[in-house]
Structure formats: C-alpha cells, structure tokens
Structure 1
C-alpha cells in the first residue's frame, strides 16, 4: 500500500513537471488581444512603467475594472505578464508568453515598439537565427504582420 502511495505521488509530480514544461502557444488572435490590452494600458498610463501579471495582487493606483479585464484577456491569450513604458516620443510594451518554468527554455514574448526602443536583433526568422547562433546569450525578434509588433525570444 505504501509503495502505491509513493508511486502515485511520484507520478503526480512528474506529470505536473511535464505539463509545466510543455510549450503553450498563444491562440491565433493573440495580436488582436494584445492590441486591446495595449489600449487599456495606454488609458491607465500616468508616466510610470506599468506591470500586470495574469494572476497577482492589484497594482497600486490602477483602475480595478480595467486591470480585471486585462488579466482575463492575458489568461485567455496565454500571457504571463504585460508591461508598458513610454518616453516623450514612443512607447514600448512587452507581452510574456506563459510557458511554465522558463529556466529550461527560451523566454518567449511579443513586443510593441512605436519608436526605436527595441534592443533585440531584428531577424527574418527567430527560429532560424537561434539555430545559427554561436553566441552564449542572444535576443532575437522578427516582425509580425501587424505594424510595430514583434515576436521575440531570448535565452537570458
């Protein structure tokens, strides 16, 4: 009986680990969802960088109903965190794709860049750039069909 319980617990732990490591791709309409989230973030923007996690305590000073809507959209789109920061001439927003434990995989995210704030290297294909990469650390982005939007991956 004791061996069955231990075996069940081990099976449960291994299954949980595999589920958390399995890649979860966002749905096809994720850019539309992110555009909506960006609109809500811009409405709330008051000169400070905004960070919202899909499951977390209420950020101080932000509109509760808007944050609730943003969190709902984030969970449905498979996003773990969004942020917005603006300078005098442009805004940068980052949308982290929720994929469980990031320590074993690349960090995947989308970026909205209305100016020239993008620090990553822009490539035609992130997948191909990663395959050809010989550097220890990298950060690559590829343009999406939507203007100012990029799909990115890095390993740091």
Structure 2
C-alpha cells in the first residue's frame, strides 16, 4: 500500500510536487469493533521519513483530555463526492461543518439512536457535510494557530 502526500489536484501533473511513501505497517486501534465501528482509527507507519513542507505538514492531536467538540465548527477535507451519487472531484474539497452533541446526533440523524454510540460524533447541517468517498478523511478544529484532529 502507498500513500500520497501534498496532492491537491489529482488530475494535474503541473500541481505542486507530491510525496509518495510505502506503508510499512498499519496499526489498528486495539478496541476497534467491526459491528459498531467504535474506535475506527488506525496509524500508518511509513517505510521512509517525510520531510515537511508548505504542502505536507502534520496535524496536531488534541491534548488529553480533550474538550467536548460539540458546538464548535470543524473543517472536513477530502476528495469525496460533492453530491450523493455525483462524480468524484479531482480537486480536494473542504467544508465548514457544525459539530453536534451526542443528543443532537442521535435524534437528528437518519440512523437509529441506538446505533450512535458514545464513541461517535456527528458533524454537518443540511447539504454541508462530508459525502461518499470522504470516509477516513479528517475532521479538524482550529485551536489558536493550529488545527487539531478530532
């Protein structure tokens, strides 16, 4: 498996140079639950180091214990569809989304309330949302000069 860093337009060859790395190993969360999708996160260990640049930077992890993100505005980034069933864009998209409380999530989503566990969160409103193809992408919240991964 390989990852590509720093890409913005997948169809452009004149875009900023990308960085490609081979994944040496995948470290899944030890409590990942395939039935509920709780702890659906993993770390990718790369075979070679990455030099950071203007286009390739790490995202910060929140300091533990993190504050409740509900009520904050997050940023979702990805190459997912811009409408349900629509075409995939070649340029990375981003959208600002409100982060909902667990109660709002359980009673405003299309899923049964029991399917939304205390390990999950919801973000979005109306047509402002991530979409098909954005799964696994980041939800970021600005904290001062930095962005933190939620």
Q: Same fold (TM over 0.5)?
A: no
TM-score between the two structures when normalised by the length of structure 2: 0.24
**Which has the higher Rg, Structure 1 or Structure 2?**
1
TM-score by length of 1: 0.24
Report which of the two has the higher share of helix. Answer: 1
